[in-house]
Structure 1
């Protein structure tokens, strides 16, 4: 398994970024004396020849969309190369292992995947029976491997160039964007988050010198903006600030964005001015909803009033806040969904939203912490393993119908590259129509007023 092509690593989707999870694992395999071949199927198609040649095929599935695409690739690889060992690794691999192991793959790894995966390859190479902590097979049950990884600098030289990925856009200006991570896991345990059943509130800091070396390599390849992809950049605020200070000192023209919880923005507000001065272009935060009943059910750690305070704070500091939303859950109502839309319209925040977020519906993967809540039996139905989620229906059928219509709307708008402001008002029109009210999209779009020009990435966020 040491020859080039014996080990094939495939990424399916990492939010439009050059795949970090491929680069990280590739570096560790090379350090161990292997010669992995890497393919990012988001921008290149694995050939039949490459799939037939591989002895080991590792497919990265850090999120739901990646898993959906990854299973398709695994099925194709299995038909072309029945003898290959196919392993899915990442958050969604282990959560969905029962389904995936039935026919599609040979092993699944969740959590800190590098060490178990290297041990798996060594066992296969030596012809040993597979019994490795963190590696789930048809014969061996194993939970996630949650121990500190000996991190190395990600290896990106084999990956497609940054020009093939999302860019930072400010008005008509485009900048090449890189991506890295400063931590793994998350110390918070929001009930709907797929990180919770894998990490259970633990997180690990990646050494500062490793992070900076990864950034440096991407800047050398043209990156002028960096996305910090941590679930929460301020899980360790001291660690995060060390990194952005060093980044700004070495590359003062390079900007960045990060994801930070609402409660952390409020708790560590004294860090925001320096964060802006170090080059922060915008911050993403998982707002999810402005319905306190929803936020309580999800154990988000913030309230609707906290969200409003955070928006005011960020406007004052001068860092655009881009919310991610989860507006379709069993506890959202037609009225509270409309209030959510009204909030963004009345505060002139429509430019802050990627329209896809108006359509996101709660996913409940196997192992979700939501399954353990006291009232889960009242609303969670059977598992749909092929969709990687438990089924549920809203008590108000109008909400399920609205979600389907809004999802179709934003998908078509994304395909056409439609005006996001008009798309927002089309979603509002659908919402009011569900309540028997008329609404003029054209008039609302005309009357919205001057458009803000805010920094954003050119690919919308999908889960």
Structure 2
């Protein structure tokens, strides 16, 4: 079992599957290639290889691992599982890079597939897409059991939570699977189609308990939206705080939910929530409508005010390069963060993110999409598209390069922000001194954050991809 990248966290998708495999009598060997090497010996010994691909970066790295395995051990059965597995199955099956792919709730189909391969059969298993059997995602409730983490690298080898001079070891868990929302650009949408499942609270708490025993001082709840079921989320965090009062946490919550359930925010603060990630994406209302985000630019401003009032840091994720963003609205986005003194709330990489359209994307089914979506690019696992304003495509390339260089050099994030703004204004023939703007920005905030930059629906450059775990 191989994990390539899970945003700097100990791989939950190995732990979850390991538990079910061990319950079925197997003894899986787990390798996280983001921090450990995959030996030739391990490859030669494997009869069955399961590669976890819960996000786009993992998918690109996972293909490289699969090709290496196929070269060294041609008879090994290779299965991709996770959010991006089924989306990219056709191309990889055609190239004989893999033998099967599983999307959705993967544990049960994958265990059944291993048993079938042992018997020399691999076709006709519900939820398993192979060359001999076409299957959609497996969207059935999993018999959830506590993830098995004993054979994974120690938590202190992964990302930390930093708050001022304090550094905390981070654990990761999920209280729900899927999402009840259907944002058009989200990879969860073509797999779950608006469905989600709550993981039993006792299973989540047992997983947290095991990670605390392993050194965790902070927990990331990695649900696509922690408040898909706010009552469920509060039940878990209340019990967690009662047992571990010094444990802090973060979660991902929609702007829509932060405002709708704002009455819960003070309690979240008391329970140990130090920051919330929210997929703001853009402040251009046309973009937000095209993405079906169900919030407006005014809602984002209100959410920032509300979170400031409560004392929980809001860390927005952004998707500023889409066909509907304009140069003016991109600059307005930058102005919002500068004028609100919110620059420290974002990682510079978010200002470079370009819309990714993977196979199966809901964008492919939207009216008029054929006018702007081009051919499929197998090397990028997505469809090509060009912005109607060529300046925006050029700006995205410049920003991506600038951010990559800044990360490699350890540059000041606020300076990087103003260098990005200078590039954007230059596209309009205007000038900005990044040094002068940085001096005028004023006192810096020291906000809680993870040491691994968060991004999901991204189209990173190849160098950014390789630098994620540098």
Q: Deviations over 1:46-87 (max 9, x none)?
A: 000001100000000001000000000000000000000000
Q: Aligned partners of 1:135, 1:330: CA distance in 2, in Å?
A: 35
Q: Deviations over 1:97-149 (max 9, x none)?
A: 01111220000000000000000001011223421111000111100000000
Q: Give the stretch that moved more between structures: 322-331 or 452-461.
A: 452-461
TM-score using structure 1 length: 0.98
Map 1:374-453 onto structure 2 (within 5 A): 374-453=367-446
RMSD: 0.7
Q: Report what 2:3 is aligned to.
A: 11
Is the partner of 1:282 in helix, strand or coil?
strand
Q: Aligned partners of 1:305, 1:14: CA distance in 2, in Å?
A: 32
Q: Aligned partners of 1:222, 1:416: CA distance in 2, in Å?
A: 30
Map 1:260-271 onto structure 2 (within 5 A): 260-271=253-264
Is 1:357 the counterpart of 2:350? The answer is yes
Q: Is the 8 A contact 2:105 2:141 kept in 1?
A: yes
Q: Report what 1:237 is aligned to.
A: 230
Question: 5+ residue gaps in structure 1?
Answer: 1-8
TM-score using structure 2 length: 0.96
Q: Aligned partners of 1:460, 1:129: CA distance in 2, in Å?
A: 39
Q: Deviations over 1:383-424 (max 9, x none)?
A: 112211110000000000000000111111111121100010
Is the partner of 1:176 in helix, strand or coil?
strand
4+ residue runs of structure 1 moved beyond 6 angstroms? Answer: none
Is 1:174 the counterpart of 2:160? The answer is no
The number of residues matched between the two structures is 455
Q: CA deviation at 1:182?
A: 0.3
Pair 1:364–1:413, CA change in 2 (3 A): same
Is 1:60 the counterpart of 2:52? The answer is yes
Q: CA deviation at 1:446?
A: 1.3
Q: CA deviation at 1:331?
A: 0.0
Q: Report what 1:75 is aligned to.
A: 67
Q: Aligned partners of 2:454, 2:279: CA distance in 1, in Å?
A: 12
Q: Is the 8 A contact 1:180 1:215 kept in 2?
A: yes
Q: CA deviation at 1:445?
A: 1.1
Q: Is the 8 A contact 2:220 2:250 kept in 1?
A: yes
Q: Is the 8 A contact 1:208 1:243 kept in 2?
A: yes
Q: Aligned partners of 2:132, 2:210: CA distance in 1, in Å?
A: 41
Q: Give the stretch that moved more between structures: 444-453 or 254-263.
A: 444-453
Q: Aligned partners of 1:184, 1:425: CA distance in 2, in Å?
A: 38
Is 1:253 the counterpart of 2:241? The answer is no
Q: Report what 1:40 is aligned to.
A: 32
Is 1:192 the counterpart of 2:195? The answer is no
Q: 1:22 aligns with which of 14, 28, 50?
A: 14
Q: Is the 8 A contact 2:113 2:122 kept in 1?
A: no
Pair 1:129–1:427, CA change in 2 (3 A): closer
Q: Deviations over 1:201-240 (max 9, x none)?
A: 0000000000000000110111100000000000000100
Q: Aligned partners of 1:413, 1:31: CA distance in 2, in Å?
A: 46
Is 1:165 the counterpart of 2:158? The answer is yes
Question: 5+ residue gaps in structure 2?
Answer: 457-470
